[in-house]
Structure 1
């Protein structure tokens, strides 16, 4: 029986415990049709390699790739990532995991159409991930980074994916962005395809367990996310066994939202925001930049970037000691489940299954009359 990447990391301590398989070696079969989740306060894990490890949050710039000549600038951006990986492992010592923001490879440009953005996007695996894999092996560091991505299984879509790469340079998981905000911009909407935008097909292809993915690694149970102000989603991660949640921001975030993720769920949470970003053509270089941070399971700040410059935020994660006492968050779900079951979100899921918008204005037109709220 073949085991896909989601199944492998959700089996827990069992036949697959402690093993690590490269992404290309795993079959593309559908994942679990139910959430892999215990009901006794515990959660699935694989054995730890280390009692504690050092997390490095890389606050780096955002430089948009030229859609007419994407390969050159992508290479430059990846080389800049490699330089920062070297710096992070320099005088301050090795970092076991280095965490970048959402767009260190492609950057972002609001003028891009879907066609432009797909030209700019990378494939996973691909040239860019191979370069980063070499650097991961050189320093013996795990890498977590976001990017716009093209996927042959989604030939009309632009994906925003956070990749988890181990210290051997193997891609062990890819997390889709869970949802985009809708109804908050004036006359336009985002056109990235998220899990929520194609929820029915996503579940059909990957299984329901992949909707809230938990990657069980020898460093601990890692979750990633590029969404903000969605406490229920992070609570669900914690219920499924998240121990370290790595969150990215693009152009700013609310520190309280990050702190609350740790405090309410008793887990480690890091936020990687972009640094000051030059030549963007829309705003001052430091607008929305800076503030990358790490919080401990009580919600206390462990480390923070006090500048918008490119910098490193580091914190030590005592994962073995943490795991001996950590349990799922205590939630009196029976009190609120009837309310959740009766609730309907403003926009229904799977809207992009019917039509894929071609740019931000087209997306605004398409979604204009799709709200379920009056």
Structure 2
């Protein structure tokens, strides 16, 4: 594998055509048509940026939008992609055609968990192969691997939960949407070697710094890593003003500097050089700014283990109603409030058996 020390990345800001009001068959047709529309824009981006373009990142749930009123089984049937299905085949062909690493974020099914779906960030390599599949761990209203934790680990192992892809364009890791707000995830991926975080998002933008914009800068600095963040170029097809999630796609370097940023609407202007040699030199340099070298992992592992917050395996053996997710968060808030009032660390929650599935109310 011939490694490139520098190349160009594009955070491709395209509109999302939501499928919420559609039936299953029509939704599937719209998603396939969206791939054709996105492919034309990706070709344009590749031509505009030039032959050094090696990485294209697409926004969050770019084919479907987010579930809005759909049941979990209903959204799985309507909008979740089969990992071996035609949508990924078309994206794989596009990555191979352009000779790039293409990052797609979508809801997808899993034959091992037939009653659920997961939100995934998938990196397709320049030969069309899948080089990374990351399933989002933090999601307020959708299932995650943590909800079926023991069985997910038995099926895939921890390296698939926190994957880092060693590629010719560096060590790549995916962070989905609001997960940029969780420093633990980026830190774990950084400790596993990630040099470039690809961040598919669909978020509110503002002339002021938003929480996610602040977090992107922090995650880049904390982990001495690039962040390539693609936001939606508008959301079409549902009763939310279309430009509520439009603009702000950006690329940050390992010192938290914004190298490129898009305004609102569909855009290819968020592109910049990724200098792997620079980040690797910085990571070897002693000093106060080398934050990854100064993390006290053992201390934080012990302290985190003392706190009972969101519990694993909550969906084992059940298909949730949408109300489940709000009820679970309410239970967590009660536990947090009790812990704060007592001022003492909590004892970790112990499940009496692997199949205990009833969340504490």
Match of 1:205?
155
Task: Give the 3 Å change call, closer, same or farther, for CA 140–363 of structure 1 in structure 2.
Answer: same
Match of 2:199?
247
Q: In the TM superposition, what are the counterparts of 1:155-304 in structure 2 within 5 Å?
A: 155-181=114-140, 190=141, 192-226=142-176, 227-252=179-204, 254-281=212-239, 283-304=240-261
C-alpha RMSD of the superposition: 2.1
Q: In the TM superposition, what are the counterparts of 1:77-156 in structure 2 within 5 Å?
A: 77-94=34-51, 95-119=53-77, 120-156=79-115
Mapped pair 1:316 → 2:236: no
Q: CA deviation at 1:92?
A: 3.1
Mapped pair 1:353 → 2:316: yes
Match of 2:305?
341
The answer to whether the 8 A contact 1:96-1:140 is kept is yes
The answer to whether the 8 A contact 2:101-2:126 is kept is yes
Deviations 1:76-133 (A, max 9, x none): 1111111111111123324211101121122224122223211221111221111122
Deviations 1:37-78 (A, max 9, x none): xxxxxxxxxxx5212111111111121122332221011111
Unpaired segments ≥5 residues, structure 2: 205-210, 285-291, 339-361
Task: Give the 3 Å change call, closer, same or farther, for CA 145–329 of structure 1 in structure 2.
Answer: farther
Q: CA deviation at 1:165?
A: 0.5
Whose helix fraction is larger, Structure 1's or Structure 2's? 2
Deviations 1:271-321 (A, max 9, x none): 21111223321x211113211111111111111112244444111112134
Task: Give the 3 Å change call, closer, same or farther, for CA 367–331 of structure 1 in structure 2.
Answer: closer
Distance 1:318 1:61 in 2: 29
The answer to whether the 8 A contact 2:18-2:235 is kept is no
Distance 1:367 1:71 in 2: 32
The answer to whether the 8 A contact 2:260-2:269 is kept is no
Q: CA deviation at 1:344?
A: 2.6
The answer to whether the 8 A contact 2:170-2:276 is kept is yes
Match of 1:67?
23
TM-score by structure 2 length?
0.81
User: 2:294 aligned to 330, 347, 359, which one?
Assistant: 330
Classify the secondary structure of the residue corresponding to 2:128: coil
Paired residues, number: 316
> Structure 1 residues 361-370 or 93-102, which shifts more?
361-370
Match of 2:344?
none
Classify the secondary structure of the residue corresponding to 1:146: strand
Task: Give the 3 Å change call, closer, same or farther, for CA 279–74 of structure 1 in structure 2.
Answer: closer
Q: CA deviation at 1:334?
A: 4.8
Match of 1:32?
none
Unpaired segments ≥5 residues, structure 1: 1-17, 19-47, 182-189
